[in-house]
Chain A
Amino acid sequence: MRRHRHNHSQALTLDQIKSGETVWVESIQGGWGCCQRFNQMGIHAGDPITVKRNGVLGGPILIQVHGSEVALGRGMARHITVALQKILNDT
């Protein structure tokens, strides 16, 4: 299967996504604790995320993932790299 990926020189992170858009998680950039916290909320590589609210500078963003809403601090959102299309696993 073909793998769709965006060719950004820098990876696209969740904090850059506008309200109303849906993206797919590419990877979580962070240590053990960071990964665990995202995983607990149902955020894993490959999952679709809809950004519900991405407001003022520096403020948190609100996302919808697997039917629940989660608030992420902007710094936390930067740990999540995303793709604009569904990533098809080649394993």
Chain B
Amino acid sequence: MTKTKIKRSSNTNIALLQEKQKLEHPQIVLTGQPNCGKSTLFNEVAGYKSAASNFPGATVTYTQSHVNLHGEIFDIVDLPGIYSLTSMDQAATESQRYLLTHQVDVIINVVDASTLSRSLELTLQLMDLEIPMVLCLNMIDEAERKGIQIDIDKLSNELGIPVVATVASHGQGVRDLFRSAFATVNQPSPARHIRGNRDVELVIAKLTRQLKKDVGESIPFSIHLLATKLLEGDQTFIDIIQKMHPHILPIVEKSARALAQTHGKPAHEVINAERHAMSMSLFEKVATFKKPKIQLRDRVDDVLMHSFWGYLIMAGLLYLFFHTVFSVGALLETPILNFFEGLKATLLGSINPDSLIYHLLSSAIEGIAGGVAIVLPYLLPFLAGLAFLEDVGYLPRVAFLMDAFMHRVGLHGTAVIPAVLGYGCNVPAVMATRILSSSRDRYIAAVIATLVPCAARMTIIFGLVGVYLGGTAAFGIYVLNFLVIVLSAGIMSRLLPEETPGMVLEIPVYHWPSMRSLVNKTWFRLKEFIVIAWPLLIGGSVLLALADAYGWSPALDQLTRPVTWLLGLPKEVGMTLLFGILRKELSMLMLFQALGTRDVITVLSWGQILVFTIFVVFYVPCVATIGALIRQLRARRAFIIVVLTFILALILALLTRGFVFLIG
């Protein structure tokens, strides 16, 4: 395994028609429904690359890794989980586009064996792509526990493709799976064409013939798939035909009408029902049933999703979570800081403390110390804890519990998931808004996600308010933040009074997370901080020392003076606010630099500390988050969010200043 790339496919539907690039190594693509264990499988072979979790929509864009497995070299791509190949939401559109536009030598269709009957519907659509394919019956142990016995050979015969049973979380069957995938690259077995009712097939066949005649040359993918998707009313394919061969559309409409007339329901329902019937009959052919084993975890939801106990436990869990993070962080912070103080004294003892070199080295060490002592002790337990909650499968339960509440602010339960992720980092949170199906819901959810104080802002809340004003005040900021979020979401949904489509969310079974997946995910997210934030932190520290030495900082401080003046903060603070836009945690670390002391209370009053923290918690999202917002919502909406959060932060900080003045 070497490098990994996260790419984004192009936005135009016409891209589907372009020539595919020929790549050096076989391209193995993992695809399947959410929660089927795709990312776990990917992690098993690719290492620290893709983040798996136990909620739908975990894979943000596709993740690619170059793998050397037992001497065979190949590229492996993990696509976002999709329930069907119809472009319903962003994840499906992205997966669909990838499969149609990139070189794909073999598809590994990963299936949760315990939900085989439903999963086969996607399998049938994937087979329509006419790309060599292997079916991976993952979580086969889960199926057996549910009393479902699957005849693997029979399933393989029925579909005409290799079928391999695996338990990816234990690495079981993974080697066989890839061996089989390789064999398929070199010698693809012809997939069976599984067809449904005669009258439906006749309509599809007729349309297929027509399409072959009229557009056959210009379409580089399966015409049968095109015909089916056109009948299903898939917008992506309709757009293509609209642009390229508009005269086909009336023919499609006529076929769709014919289907609707004979079946008494719209064509898309006819096709879906047909595929469902085929999957069910396949499933019944290959599966035998026994009595399921009832385990403790089947009863857990009686309590965790209970309409009283569920909420109590959720509140308790969240409290315990933050409490643990804070106490672990506080426990580690002081000894680490002391260590670096000692280090600095020994290293720089012989250098003249007035020289420029002393300032540069000392600020560099402080930058390193800031990263290690302040960010890591809080971040590591936090990210590990969040990864655990995700992998266990608790987040969809939170969505269920919060649905009624979220309706009050004009959203539905699913929107809770990006919000909760936001407490870790706003970037994946903004990306996770893709699991919502309406663009208005995604907009509001993205605003919520950016207002949620991420782990970096958590270090500021704990590091300043927590240390100088106490834990209760720190908790108070979280409560205030929560109220502001509720209010903002409420106002936004009043301004965008479109009805939310409502929640349809799979609740996966609880899984004891594999250590590997937990470590991978925590590392994956921690790496972002180490690779991006730390150099910025050290660089920023040094820059600040230079700015001081050469007298640049007054200019920057002057630039931000209107804000600092308004908030009653010393002008040296101005520059730290600018740094905070790069990375939030820089605000506090730079504050230490700018004020020339770690003991902030000697320079700022407690009121000023509070005003500063409130402003930093709410103002302008960091650069990375702005990037994610632009990708997810486009520049205009991202810009609106930036301006609004700035105004919001200003108002809240001014109110805080007034409040501090009053209780003086």
B272 on the interface (CB 8 Å rule)? yes
B459 on the interface (CB 8 Å rule)? no
Q: Are A75 and B502 in contact (CB under 8 A)?
A: yes
What distance in Å separates the Cβ of B138 from its nearest Cβ neighbour in chain A? 14
Please report the total number of B residues contacting A with Cβ < 8 Å. Answer: 39
Q: Are B407 and A73 in contact (CB under 8 A)?
A: yes
Q: Are B400 and A71 in contact (CB under 8 A)?
A: yes
Chain B residue nearest in CB terms to A30:
B501
Task: Identify which of residues 529-556 in chain B touch chain A, using a CB-to-CB cut-off of 8 Å.
Answer: none
Considering the chains assembled together, what is the distance between the CA atoms of A73 and B233 in angstroms? 25
B268 on the interface (CB 8 Å rule)? yes
Q: Are B272 and A39 in contact (CB under 8 A)?
A: yes
**Given known A59-B307, A71-B403, contact A33–B507 (CB-CB < 8 A):** no
Task: Identify which of residues 62-91 in chain A touch chain B, using a CB-to-CB cut-off of 8 Å.
Answer: 62, 65-76
Q: Are B404 and A56 in contact (CB under 8 A)?
A: yes
Stretch in B9-17, B110-118, B382-390, B486-494 touching the partner: B110-118
What distance in Å separates the Cβ of A4 from its nearest Cβ neighbour in chain B? 19
Q: Name the B residues within 8 Å of A34 (CB-CB).
A: 501
Q: Are A33 and B501 in contact (CB under 8 A)?
A: yes
Q: Are B276 and A39 in contact (CB under 8 A)?
A: yes
Q: Are B399 and A71 in contact (CB under 8 A)?
A: yes
Please report the total number of A residues contacting B with Cβ < 8 Å. Answer: 33
Q: Name the B residues within 8 Å of A67 (CB-CB).
A: 114-115, 117-118, 146, 148
Q: Are B506 and A58 in contact (CB under 8 A)?
A: no
Stretch in B82-90, B315-323, B604-612, B625-633 touching the partner: B82-90
Considering the chains assembled together, what is the distance between the CA atoms of A70 and B146 in angstroms? 17
Q: Are A70 and B403 in contact (CB under 8 A)?
A: no
What distance in Å separates the Cβ of B656 from its nearest Cβ neighbour in chain A? 35
Q: Name the B residues within 8 Å of A40 (CB-CB).
A: 83-84, 88
Considering the chains assembled together, what is the distance between the CA atoms of A12 and B403 in angstroms? 23
Mask for A13-44, Cβ within 8 A of B = 1, else 0?
00000000000000010001111111111101
Q: Are A73 and B115 in contact (CB under 8 A)?
A: no
Considering the chains assembled together, what is the distance between the CA atoms of A56 and B403 in angstroms? 11
Q: Are A66 and B118 in contact (CB under 8 A)?
A: yes
What distance in Å separates the Cβ of A71 from its nearest Cβ neighbour in chain B? 5
Q: Are A69 and B507 in contact (CB under 8 A)?
A: yes
Considering the chains assembled together, what is the distance between the CA atoms of A55 and B413 in angstroms? 15
Q: Are A71 and B268 in contact (CB under 8 A)?
A: no
Considering the chains assembled together, what is the distance between the CA atoms of A40 and B407 in angstroms? 23
Chain A residue nearest in CB terms to B35:
A68
6 closest A-B pairs by beta carbon, nearest first, are A40-B83, A73-B502, A42-B118, A76-B502, A73-B503, A55-B307
Chain A residues within 8 Å of B, Cβ to Cβ: 28, 32-42, 44-45, 53, 55-56, 58-60, 62, 65-76
